Homo-oligomer: A and B are copies of this chain.
Amino acid sequence: MAEFRPFEVSDVRFPTSRSLDGSDAMNPDPDYSAAYVTVPTSDGDAGNGFVFTIGRGNEVAASAIHAVEAMVVGLDVDEVLGDMGAFWRRLVSDSQLRWLGPEKGVMHMAVGAVVNAVWDLKARRAGLPLWALLAEMTPRQLVDLVDFTYLSDALTPGEALALLERAAAARTERMAHLRESGYPAYTTSAGWLGYSDEKVTRLVGEAVADGFTHLKLKVGADIDDDERRVKLVRGLVGPDVLISVDANQRWGVDEAIANVRRLTPHGVYWIEEATSPDDILGHRAIAEGVHPVRVATGEHVANAVIFKQLLASGAIDVCQIDACRVAGVNENIAILLLAAKYGVPVCPHAGGVGLCEVVQHLSMFDFVAVSGTTEGRWIEFVDHLHEHFEDPAVVTGGAYRAPRAPGSGARMLPDTLRDYSFPDGVVWTASADETTGNTHHTTG
């Protein structure tokens, strides 16, 4: 009988602020980071997961993962892997830890890291990539993963089951299609706010040459500059490439409506994070005010309860799940089911470090077993930091290639864990003056 052993938790940080990769109106100088957990078993296996952060406070997420540890160590591995729904409920409903959310923020993300690590382990033991493991579970098994307590006024277990059963018939052919053609991607690599026009022009050209038909630009610092940049890129790509914009929560509701209307003549596909991710009624007002521009949000939406309201009330046209914001795979399945019920396409947030690697599995599962389509759907792609992973995401011809290796994609390389460890890894000690993550450098 194998049981779970004490976690190894690493505070891993990448000095991305040195090149302004990832700069946007809300986050001018992120150091992409992970509070990374290894969940070992007594028979020598391990699963990996992480909380993604952008630098300072990564140690708080690591502390939260340790708080979850006591609920897991000593549990029977087979029993946990055999009822992942019960495991999720156990971790989310610990009464004392729940107080720190509830079901939001650092504590919820830490639960997500551990839940995801155990899914990684389950997929490795099954010898399957996570998306295929999920896509081969029966509709009933999938429904049992979800806690419907706060969701059933919008989606009952019976409705979820019916939805999954309808999609089940064509699973095999969709899996074959996925292995053949991959899953559509869009790119944000060209549009960071800290980049010069020259760099944007070069990167947009490269993106189109690489097969991308959908680009995203950061906006939200200055609307005149935003309009100029959208116009610039529209001029570069012509009318047939989709351009979405992302304000990273910088605007109030009325401001968002006015600003999006300024950008609309240049052809905007979606407006992302126009305002606070908690503002359901605000997003609905924005959706009414900027139609036909689509309203997108989700990377900072704390849990399925907020997603339920955004979806059921017509506040969003694009549902942007994140692999590491909610409490892991189970809660993201709940959100995929809600999105399918309301007919809203799921276009995951990715980038950062490791988010592409993990979230692709959820979209691929969604295609095979839930929504049954990739129409109007793309997974975000940002081309950096993939080299730190055992099984890096592969995007070619504007599409994510279906992972074939067992697991969830979350495992980092041992050298990375050593060199990027904060504050003692060589990347940080070699340039002690830059360890705060506060320094600004011109772009590389």
Contact = CB atoms under 8 A, between A and B. Distances in A.
A199 to B, nearest CB: 22
A276 B150 contact: yes
Contacts of A67: 56-57, 59-60
A428 B70 CA distance: 18
B153 A285 contact: yes
B57 A99 contact: yes
A392 interface: no
A278 interface: yes
Count the copies.
Answer: 2
Contacts of A29: 95-96
B303 A153 contact: no
Interface in A322-372: none
Given A59-B67, A106-B105, A99 B27 contact: yes
Task: With a 10 A CB-CB cut-off, give which of A57, A98, A277 has the most chain B CB atoms.
Answer: A57
A279 B105 contact: no
A106 B106 contact: yes
Nearest to A51: B100
A323 to B, nearest CB: 15
Interface in A13-42: 26-31
A94 B437 CA distance: 12
A394 interface: no
Interface in A102-133: 102-109
Interface stretch (A76-84, A180-188, A248-256, A400-408): A248-256
A64 interface: yes
Contact of A64 (B60, B95, B312): B60
A341 to B, nearest CB: 15
Contacts of A305: 276, 278-279, 282
- 8 closest A-B pairs (Cβ-Cβ)? A105-B105, A153-B253, A56-B96, A55-B96, A63-B63, A106-B106, A278-B305, A150-B276
